[in-house]
Amino acid sequence: MLKLITDLILTYIGTVTFGVLMNVPRRSLNLGGWIGTISFLAYRLCIAANLGIAVANLLGTLIIGILSMQAARYKRMPVINFNIPALVPFVPGGQAYQMIKNFALGNVGEAISFLLQVAIIAGSIAFGFLLAEMVNRMQTKLMVQFSSRWSHENRNNPKL
Amino acid sequence: MTNDQGHLMIKTALHAGRLMIENGSEIARVSDTISRIASNAGYPDSKVYVTITGIMMSVSGEENAQIEPVTSRSIDLEKITMVNDLSRDFADHKITLAQFEEQLTVLDHHSHYFPLWIQLLSAGIVSGALEVVFRHNYPDFLVTCVIGLIGWGIFYVINRVAKIRFLSEFLASAAIGTLAILAVRYHLGTNADDIIIGCVMPLVPGVPLTNAVRDILSGDLVSGIARGMEALMSAIAIGSGIAMILQAV
């Protein structure tokens, strides 16, 4: 439990400082950090529930995608300010490193098994974003029907 | 272009688009912004074709199309946000087209990066924090911070001095590998693998990777693949820097 809390605190710090390196505007740093922390908590809960690494990454990035869109609408800023820092804890750094190391040392079999893990994680991250995009579009469609402000703002949105 | 207003509109829109692509925006946002600027300036039927290396734009009924090449590329999300804010202000009639263009020129010449010491400190903290999150190796936290800081410093200096793409990633990761192995050899750290995993994190091409996926999803296949290659090249540069050191030891 203590380990999880330390991890979450460090995830928040890591997300915000990565945002600094990408020169994210100061007023969106904090929110981006929170999105990263919440999605990482979901990821850890999935891992703890033995749902497997693919579902965990998919759910984590789905949450990043949905929350970043809400944050972008709330703050009226481009969505990449929120989802790029929040994605950092999901980068398969450990597996990618093991892959490189095993290739360099000549253990091709092990290297390929790590390569497959990296591919699985990257794939689930991409499909997590796809699902989030679908949710966001459905939200826009619904809101356009029910709110006059939304239908005014989206009157010439080609995606609808 | 026959009239001045149309000429200024195309110039402003292309300028805004170039600034956004140069600083790492996804393509769908750029073409959306450009067509919004055009329709807010009174040209609702403009045609725009955006790729990662250049923008083409024309106004229906007028003769010549204009081209804006995009040659340099860096990552500065604040500039994208500021162009976005300016475009919103223009849509709300808070600024005129001429003021818009003027402010874009100002924005082009002044970057609002965080000071170098904050960047270095952040790079160190990113490395340490993610090393603990990924590997749960608490004793190596501090040494990872220091090596990550040095790695980002090398990356920054080489980007400034020699403007060769991917060389900075390669040399920085080679330096990180060397320092991590030396640190373990002189008993400053316990596990070189964990230290390297943490220290490489600030160099990860997060923006090109995310944008590649978003571009491909939104149908900008040409730009998506180009961006994916860019991310892949950075990853290969980092990987081969590390692999070279690991093989040499």
Q: Looking at residue A156, what is its pLDDT?
A: 61
- B47 touching A, CB under 8 A? no
Provide the pLDDT confidence category of residue B74 given band limits of 50, 70 and 90: confident
Residues B130, B224, single domain; the answer is yes
Neighbour count for residue A160 (Cβ, 10 Å) = 11
Based on the fold, state whether residues B58 and B18 are members of the same structural domain: yes
Between residues A149 and B9, which one has the greater pLDDT? Answer: B9
Alpha-carbon distance A73 to nearest alpha carbon in chain B (angstroms): 13
Give me the number of domains chain B comprises: 2
**Residues B165 and B216 occupy one common structural domain:** yes
User: What ipTM was assigned to the predicted interfaces of this complex?
Assistant: 0.88
- In this structure, the answer to whether residues B22 and B105 fall within a common structural domain is yes
Average the pLDDT over A131-149 and give the result: 86
The H or E element containing residue B86 is helix B77-91
Distance of alpha carbon A34 from alpha carbon A13, whole angstroms: 10
Instruction: Give residue A158's pLDDT band: very low, low, confident or very high (50, 70, 90).
Output: low
Alpha-carbon distances of A135 from A51, A117, B41, B149, rounded to whole Å: 22, 27, 33, 39
Mean per-residue pLDDT over chain B, rounded: 89
Q: What is the pLDDT of residue A155?
A: 65
The alpha-carbon gap from A37 to the nearest alpha carbon of chain B, in Å, equals: 12
Average pLDDT over residues B108-130: 90
| Domain locations along chain A | 2-153
Most B-contacting residue of A8, A12, A21, A136 (CB-CB within 10 A), to test interface: A21
Size of interface A-B (CB pairs under 8 A): 138
- Mention every residue, 6+ apart, whose C-beta is less than 8 A from residue B34: B13, B14, B16, B17, B46, B48, B50, B55, B57
Q: Residues B127, B233: one domain?
A: yes
* CA angle at B207 for the pair A39 and A10, rounded to the nearest 5°: 40
Q: Structural domain of residue B103, as residue ranges?
A: 4-109
**Rounded percentage of chain B residues whose pLDDT exceeds 70:** 99
Q: Match 């060397």 to its residue by tokens.
A: B178
Percentage of chain A exceeding pLDDT 90: 58
Residues B167, B242 within the same domain: yes
Last residue of a domain, one of B109, B126, B142: B109
For B188, the 3-state DSSP assignment is: coil
Q: Scan residues 88-127 of B and list those with Cβ closer than 8 Å to A.
A: 88, 112-114, 118-119, 121-123, 125-126
DSSP state string for A3-39: HHHHHHHHHHHHHHHHHHHTT--HHHHHHHHHHHHHH
Give the nearest partner residue to B81 out of A25, A93, A98, using CB atoms. A25
Reported residue count of chain B is: 249
Nearest to A78 among B80, B112, B121 (CB): B80
Task: Write the pLDDT tens digit of every residue in B198-232.
Answer: 999 999 888 888 888 888 888 889 999 999 998 99
Q: Tell me, yes or no, whether B136 and B54 share the same domain.
A: no
Which of B81, B109, B137 is the C-terminal boundary of a domain? B109
Report residue B73 as tokens.
């590329």
pLDDT in tens, A37-95: 999 999 999 999 999 899 999 999 999 999 999 999 898 899 889 989 999 999 888 89
pLDDT in tens, A25-38: 988 999 999 999 99
Do residues B239 and B132 share a domain? Answer: yes
Torsion angles phi and psi, residue A131, rounded to 5? -60, -40
Residue B248's pLDDT band, with cuts at 50, 70 and 90, is confident
Please name which of A21, A29, A84, A33 lies closest in space to residue B120, comparing C-alpha atoms. A21
Are both B104 and B125 inside the same structural domain? no
In terms of domains, do B94 and B122 share one? no
Between the alpha carbon of residue B164 and those of residues B155, B158, B239, the distances in Å are: 11, 8, 18
Mutate to test the interface with A, among B23, B81, B127, B213 (most CBs of A within 10 A): B81
With CA atoms as reference, report the closest residue to B195 among A8, A101, A119. A101
Do both B99 and B13 map to the same domain? yes
Same-domain status, B173 and B192: yes
Residue B80 has pLDDT above 80, yes or no: yes
